A and B are shown apart, each in its own frame.
Chain A
Amino acid sequence: MSANPEIMHRGLDTTPFLKRLGAFDWVWAALVLIGAVAAHRLYSDFMDGYEVGILYGTAAGLIWLGWGWKPMRGFSLAVALLSLAAIALYGSELTNGNSNFFLKFLISSQSAIMWMSALYVMATFAYIFEILSGSSFSGRVGSAMTWSATVMGSVGLMVRWRESYLMGADIGHIPVSNLYEVFVLFAVMTALLYLTYERRYNNRAMGAFVLTVISAAVAFILWYTFDREAHHIQPLVPALQSYWMKIHVPANFVGYGAFALAAMLGVAYLLIDRKPGGLLARRLPSLEILDDIMYKAIALGFAFFTVATVLGAMWAAEAWGGYWSWDPKETWALIVWLNYAAWLHLRLTKGWRGVPLAWWAIVGLFVTLFAFLGVNMFLSGLHSYGTL
């Protein structure tokens, strides 16, 4: 499997990074900055110093990400445009969500998330069909759907943020505060991570595996919405009213997304390993590359999970009076961390590769899943924000 030509080119190019940027890069960066400044000016009453810092930090991070990974530019513009359209259509009346056609059927947060759900599931089938039939068109459809779903999911979160403020200035908050919202975040993060690898390795067959886990998350979201009516926006308990939430939760979900991706590639690895000459072996990247992507995903996940746990400890110090309380959620975060630390040690120092690590990555997903979901369901503690 050859690497993407664009990446190859980048390896050779010695022009300084900033000179390599095109006009669109600069226009886009300017738009991001304008957006950040506008948000700052419009909403400074709702932000403390840390939150202003997070706003500009996010803008800088987004620009850096977009310059390094070009599709991010178009993606973020699409999300911004649709979200702004929804905000404009809402005006100051939440009830417009039921009366305006576009809001009701397309870009109110609830509809956008439903579109996301549908598109992810369809993308999963498109990717699976690509593997079965070898139709690269089907793969491209899968990609397009995954991109669209990710746009819709992100729009859903953005608009939900606005909707929460329309419900009341004291209710408004970033939508990463309960299980419903973070599941959407999980789907979007995992998909974005996958899309980077899809492009970098120019292989769409991995999508069948990664989108399966996203579809599972979608199934949960749907059950949670229709059976439990958990999609209603709830006000925040005092402990969650903090700028820390804006960084702790997203950092965690980069980690969870990456771990989920690694586990699904682990599944692919094991299937190919069982049947080396089979259909999957022909469609997917070589075992060596799969193993490498698995490592990269776990390394990325581990790095972000480390950051998220540290941020969590710092937040705990402010909200609960101690940076570490052996609370079940904290302890399970440590368990996840130790688990992947062991995985990385095995790979980097013991030179393990392949099958055992693929199994370990799959088991790791279950450990992660328990930390993410099981703790909320079965164990009680301080961190009982996302109960089922």
Chain B
Amino acid sequence: MNLAITLLVVIAIAAIIGTVLQQNQPYNDYIIKFGPYWFEVFKGLGLFDIYGTGWFWLLLGFLLISTTICVYRNTPAIIRDMRHFRLDVQEKSLRAFKHRDEWQSELSGEVLVTTLGTRLQQHGYQVRHKQHDGYRMVAAMRGGLGRLGYILSHLSIVVICLGGAIDGNLPLKLAEMRGEIQIEKRNIPVSEIAANSTLGTDNSSFRGSVEIPEGSRANFVFLQVRDGYLLQQLPFTVALEDFRIEHYPSGMPKSFESDLIIIDPDEKEPLRQTIKVNHPWVYKGYAIYQASFSDGGSEIKLKAWSLDKPDAEPLLIDGVVKETNQLVTPRGDYALEVTDFKPFNVFPAEEGSGKEFHNYGPSVIFKLRAANGEAREYVNYQVPISVEGRHFLLSGMRDTPAEEYRFLHIPIDSDGGINRFMRFLTLARDRALIERIARRLTTSDFDMTPEDPNFNDFVTSLVELQQLFINEGIDAVVELAERRVPEEKHNEAISSYIKLVQGLLGSVYVELLQGEGIDLSEGVDATQAQYFDDALNAFSLLGPYGSPMFLKLEEYKHVEATGLQIARAPGQNIVYLGCVMLMAGVFFMFYLHHRRLWLRIEEQDGHATILLAAAGHRERSDFDHEFELMCGDLRQHSSAQAN
């Protein structure tokens, strides 16, 4: 028994480790978290897949054996105890009981046996009696099922463990140890997965997942094993006819369901059924669950403006979610990895808008990977978003998935496009124009003449400041200011640098307006001034934005994929049987109290002496009280008056 308690505690502690340390993550994450040394140690101990390691199963095995031995040892005695009334118990033994009483009655032994026997039956006892030499013995008991509770609850652990073992991956582990199975770690097409990473349809228990886009089919699932996977073949093909999803106003999924078709070579006709969360389809022992959903390869059309040559004709890119396009840019070649598409984006609405939620429309998420492998992630919204009455195209950028997106707000033209922004950017990138303006400003605003010895240096530094701003962003300008002047003058320098850039770009903007034929005789109106500020804000972030292109989502065709989990668990019903036994056993054990009671009736000189003794299995404090009551009751019923 000590072993059992120790095992319970040790298993509990081992199980804790598995919950604190996230299991079955990519190994790289662990290396980053623990460093290479501890990674090797933890890996050696199997801590990354604790519930699949040999030693954890060994512990469970011990528990199984210990429980089995317990049941095996105790069951015969318990069954005997439940069935035998022990009518031959000796007087001496009865007198040794803690709960006993003795009294006399004027009734005859025979009458007493019947009266008290009936009374005991009324109290719920089973009663037997026996005529011994010189005395009668009445033996009674109740709550015998409580003892059965012990057997049931302990046997159930054995049953559950066995059922679990059938569904466990022990055969797989053994095959892997023998080297018959090789875990695949590369991301390769299904057709290229090697035979020794593929499990046949004879594998009796597994749990795997597969994503099927609308209109596609699959006759396999992937089993995740540590940091890799195996391909599990199915004896039938599952096709997704249609996938439907409904949302709450908050954008949260309300329900999702898949119309599935099973094409089974054994069946003439394809079988159809709709599954949804909590409503799986069990087919020939294979249970097909609706687990998740994702993009199934939506087709998207993107319009790409070069941010380096904004006046160039924008490119048209046909992309597919989860596929990669190549981009050739002045900054080098980039891989455009389209990772996801969302047909809508619901977020809490701005306060005061009178609505709780606002739909920000479709978005596309992609990564731009430079030739050196570094990638940034972007999310671009299709529909302009209104901020304080003005409209912007939004594009978010982040360097790692752990960060929040930082958003670039590109102000849109009156016609809803961004051509004007690109024209402005073209001018702002036009070095010759900037130099011309810088010369003019140096003369007009700083009272220098071209003859001044510092004139050219001043113009050059103005131009470079502007170039720094447009190429590397406002942070670079701030940094420059901080580098150039002592700390106490930082703020002053920063604001004067920014003013210089603003002044330069202001003149550029005037060029743009004049080019558009706008009459500036009465100055720049508020709308145009606002546009300038918004455009400047966008310019100031183009550097950190880091993309050589601005991609605008033009059109899309949404394709969804269903995430199915397909499992085969022949041990499930055995486990459930064990669970039922466990529940019954626990309730029997706690709420049916096995109690025995003996009445030894000896007649002598016309009266009977009654010796009452009682015992409860695992005596509890209530039993004292119950015994007291029983004594009183039985005494009362032994007197002639009571009958």
Which A residues form the contact surface with B (CB < 8 A)? Answer: 3, 8, 11-12, 14, 170-171, 235, 237-239, 241-242, 244, 288-289, 292, 295, 299-300, 302-303, 306-307, 310, 313-314, 317-324, 326, 328, 331-332, 334-335, 338-339, 341-342, 345-346, 348-350, 375, 379-380
B12 at the binding interface (Cβ < 8 Å): yes
**What distance in Å separates the Cβ of B594 from its nearest Cβ neighbour in chain A?**
13
Residue of A314, A322, A326 near B569 (CB, 8 A) is A322
B16 contacts A by Cβ under 8 Å: yes
Residues of B within 8 A of A328 (CB): 19
Interface positions, chain B 562-620, Cβ under 8 Å from A, are 565-567, 569, 572, 575-576, 579, 582-583, 586-587, 590-591, 618, 620
A307 and B625 contacting across the interface, CB-CB below 8 Å = no
20 more contacts with CB within 8 A, not counting A14-B119, A322-B567, are A3-B625, A170-B254, A235-B248, A235-B252, A237-B252, A288-B621, A306-B583, A306-B586, A307-B583, A310-B579, A310-B582, A313-B575, A314-B576, A323-B575, A326-B23, A332-B19, A349-B1, A350-B2, A350-B5, A379-B22
- In the bound complex, do residue B278 and residue A238 qualify as a contact, i.e. CB atoms below 8 Å apart? yes
Chain B's closest residue to A238 (CB) is B277
Inter-chain CA distance A317–B568, complex, in Å, is: 11
Query: Any chain A CB within 8 A of the CB of B177?
Result: no
- Among candidates A288, A334, A341, A342, residue contacting B15 with C-beta atoms closer than 8 Å: A334
- Least Cβ–Cβ distance between A290 and chain B, in angstroms: 10
B122 on interface, CB distance cutoff 8 Å: yes
Decide if B618 touches A237 in the complex (CB within 8 Å).
no
Q: Which of A244, A310, A321 contacts B291 (CB 8 A)?
A: A321
Contact with A along B417-446 (1 / 0, CB 8 A): 000000000000000000000000000000
**B256 cross-chain contacts in A, Cβ below 8 A:** 238
8 CB contacts below 8 A, A to B, read A3-B625, A14-B119, A238-B276, A307-B583, A314-B576, A334-B12, A348-B618, A349-B1
Which residue of A is nearest B626, CB measured? A11
> Is there an interface contact between B629 and A306, defined as CB atoms closer than 8 Å?
no
Interface residues of B in 225-282 (CB under 8 A from A): 248, 250, 252-256, 276-280
CB of A242 within 8 A of CB of B278, answer yes
B291 and A238 form a contact (CB under 8 A)? no
Please give the distance in Å from A294's CB to the nearest CB on chain B. Answer: 11
Q: Is the CB of A319 within 8 A of B5?
A: no
Q: Beyond A303-B590, A332-B19, A339-B12, is A321–B280 a contact (Cβ under 8 Å)?
A: yes
Q: Are B5 and A342 in contact (CB under 8 A)?
A: yes
Closest A residue, CB atoms, query B4: A345
**Known A11-B626, A14-B122; contact A313-B621, beta-carbon cutoff 8 A:** no
Q: Within 8 Å CB of B4, what residues of A?
A: 345
Residues of B within 8 A of A349 (CB): 1
A349 to B23, CA, bound (A): 36
| Alpha-carbon gap, A321 to B256, bound state (A) | 16
Q: Which residues of A contact B2 (CB under 8 A)?
A: 350
Give the CA-CA distance A280 to B620 in the complex, in Å: 24
Contact yes or no, B565 A321, CB < 8 A: yes
Contact check, B280 vs A235: say whether CB atoms are below 8 A apart.
Answer: no
Contact between A345 and B1, CB atoms less than 8 A apart:
yes
Cβ contact within 8 Å between A237 and B278: no
Q: Give B521-548 as 1s and 0s: 1 = Cβ < 8 Å from A's Cβ atoms.
A: 0000000000000000000000000000
Chain A residues, Cβ within 8 Å of B250: 235
Which A residues are in CB contact (< 8 Å) with B276? 238
| B362 close to chain A: CB less than 8 A | no
Contact in complex: B253, A350 (CB < 8 Å): no
Q: Is the CB of A239 within 8 A of B15?
A: no
Q: Tell me if B9 counts as interface (CB < 8 A to partner A).
A: yes
Given the interface pairs A235-B248, A235-B250, A238-B277, the reply to whether A346 lies near B5 with Cβ below 8 Å is: yes
Q: A302-B586, A341-B8 are in contact. Are A350 and B277 (CB under 8 A)?
A: no
- Minimum CB–CB distance for B365 against chain A, Å: 22
Q: Are B629 and A8 in contact (CB under 8 A)?
A: yes
Which of B5, B572, B582 has the most C-beta atoms of chain A within 10 angstroms of its own C-beta?
B5
CB contacts (< 8 Å) of B621 on chain A: these are 288-289, 292
By a CB distance below 8 angstroms, the chain B residues around A241 are 255, 277-278
Q: CA of A342 to CA of B7 in the docked complex: distance in angstroms? A: 9
